[in-house]
Amino acid sequence: MILTDDETAIAAGGHGEGAAIALRLVAESGRLLGADGLVPVASAHIDGCLYHGDSGTEFAEFLVAKGARVTVPATLNVGALDLLRPGNVRLAGGRRNMALRLMRAYEALGCRSTWTCAPYQAGHRPDAGSDVAWGESNAVAFCNSVLGARTNRYGDFLDIACAIAGRAPRYGLHIAANRRATVRVDTSPLSDALKAREAFWPVLGAWLGRTVGEDIAVIDGLAAHATEDRMKALGAAAASTGAVALFHISGVTPEASTAEAILADQFATVTLTPADVRDSRALLSTASGDAVDAVAVGSPHFSLDEIIALEILLAGRRARVPIYLNTSRHVLGKVEREGRLAGLTGCGVVPIVDTCVVATPIMPAAGGVLMTNSGKFAFYAPGNTGYAVQFGSLADCVESAIAGRLVRDEAGWQ
């Protein structure tokens, strides 16, 4: 690990004790990861602000006490509290206090109070080719794949250290040669009608994560159907079921004008079949029977377009089970200013901001069956909440909430 003169001065305390601690953490982590130096970063997204235990709070407060401040724009991932609607979260007194202290400590470090797993929907959109230090797996996948910026999957504590130091270890996806695809995915056996379904994209992501793991894929045949929300869903599911931090879609994503433009010299070709899609979709559901006790959407946080789609599907009808709408305060604020929030809540929608139902206790503790259109929720909910899961499209979720039981349209999946 070779540091520049400026980096050596920071590590020696020239910019204060907090900056020195952060720089040394980044440098030592880089040495362990095999990096030969550090790369300046343009921004950071911080995942460590979600409360998992007192040590995280104490670490952040330690950095504050040492005078640390972020030196690049830094947004904050979800916390463990809904700061706008505190009653939504069931955290007990001591844990609630520590979760709040953690969130306030990251604000004191100079981070933006975005509290969203989709910072790219709140204006944090680094330029293609720029180096950044992002945490939160879906945000990393979106940043690399859709925006074309360069980041590794930076975990808790290292993410904030990078933001304070303004640098990250030079390894992995910061290096152009490491961003080339080693797997080519052929989707030609699938119909355009299937590819045009909103629910296909998280299913594809779940399959991709299980199939490629940490490898990088370029996917053919999706250019006519890719939107930001669909690629968001794909990346979130792939980063959950596997360790996908970067995928390419030929003709869509910044580095893949064609598949040939991004393929490595040596690559494998995998053909995605209708049977693969059906199997991947089946694995996203863990419940049997037709019971549905709650619906949750918004992992990653719902965009404004997705909320509009939810409104259209509800059509003013009242749900028999709660629909937990997880989104950012940035997006929900727009909905509220436009006078549409009351209509949603009148239909049985429960808005959640700053956090989500899988990250912190919000749903009743008794358990039951949660229905979702999110591949990420489907993967994490059983372990994090104790709820079994039914996966379906957004339309399936709405119709199930209205009926109070499982309703799923199988047309197009056969």
> For 213-269, how does the pLDDT look when each residue is reduced to its tens digit (9 = 90+)?
999 999 999 999 999 999 999 999 999 999 999 999 999 999 999 999 999 999 999
Name the band, by pLDDT with cuts 50, 70 and 90, for residue 102.
Answer: very high
Q: What is the pTM of this model?
A: 0.97
Q: Is the pLDDT of residue 414 over 80?
A: no
- Asked if the domains at 5-176 and 286-403 fall in one CATH topology, the answer is yes
Residue type at position 149: A
SS (H, E, C) 56-74: HHHHHHHHHHCCCCCCCCE
**DSSP one-letter code for 42:** S
Q: For residue 340, what are its two tokens?
A: 């549409």
pLDDT of residue 61: 98
How does residue 412 score in pLDDT terms, banded at 50, 70 and 90?
confident
Task: Report CA-CA distances (Å) from 244 to 4, 71, 194.
Answer: 32, 28, 23
Q: Quick one: which of 141, 136, 101 has its CA closest to 117? A: 136
SS3 assignment, position 110: coil
pLDDT beyond 80 at 90 = yes
pLDDT tens per residue across span 395-411: 999 999 999 999 999 98
Q: Which amino acid is at 128?
A: A
Question: Tens of pLDDT along 312-357?
Answer: 999 999 999 999 999 999 999 999 999 999 999 999 999 999 999 9
Does residue 68 carry a pLDDT above 90?
yes
* Tens-place pLDDT, residues 283-297: 999 999 999 999 999
Asked if residue 361 has a cis previous peptide bond (ω within 30° of 0), the answer is no
Cα gap 319→139, rounded to integer Å: 31
Amino acid symbol at 388: A
Token output for 109 = 């470090």
CA dist 185 and 178 (Å) reads 18
Mean pLDDT of 266-291: 97
Amino acid in the structure at residue 199: A
Given a cut of 90, whether residue 37 has pLDDT beyond it is: yes
The amino acid at 40? P
Q: Are 119 and 143 in contact (CB under 8 A)?
A: no
Q: Where are the alpha helices (H) located in 51-167, listed in sequence order?
A: 54-65, 93-108, 137-142, 158-165
pLDDT of residue 413: 86
Nearest Cα neighbor of 81 from 384, 359, 349 is: 359
Alpha-carbon gap, residue 283 to 203, rounded angstroms: 9
pLDDT above 80 for 92 = yes
Mean pLDDT of the chain: 97
Q: What is the C-alpha to C-alpha distance for residues 18 and 165, in angstroms, rounded to an integer? A: 9
Residue-level pLDDT at 222: 98
5-176 CATH: 3.30.499
Whole-number Å distance between alpha carbons of 213 and 117: 22
Distance, in Å, from the CA atom of 232 to the CA atom of 205, rounded to the nearest integer, reads 10
Residues in the chain: 414
> Which helix (H) or strand (E) element contains residue 299?
strand 294-302
Q: Are 20 and 12 in contact (CB under 8 A)?
A: yes
pLDDT of residue 411: 87
pLDDT at 335: 97
Helical segments of 166-227, H only: 192-195, 200-212
Fold of the domain spanning 286-403: Aconitase; domain 3 (3.30.499)
Separation CA 131–CA 44 (nearest Å): 10
138-187 residue pLDDT tens: 999 999 999 999 999 999 999 999 999 999 999 999 999 999 999 999 99
Q: Where are the domains of the chain?
A: 5-176, 180-281, 286-403
Q: Could you give the CA distance from residue 207 to residue 238 in angstroms, rounded to a whole number?
A: 7
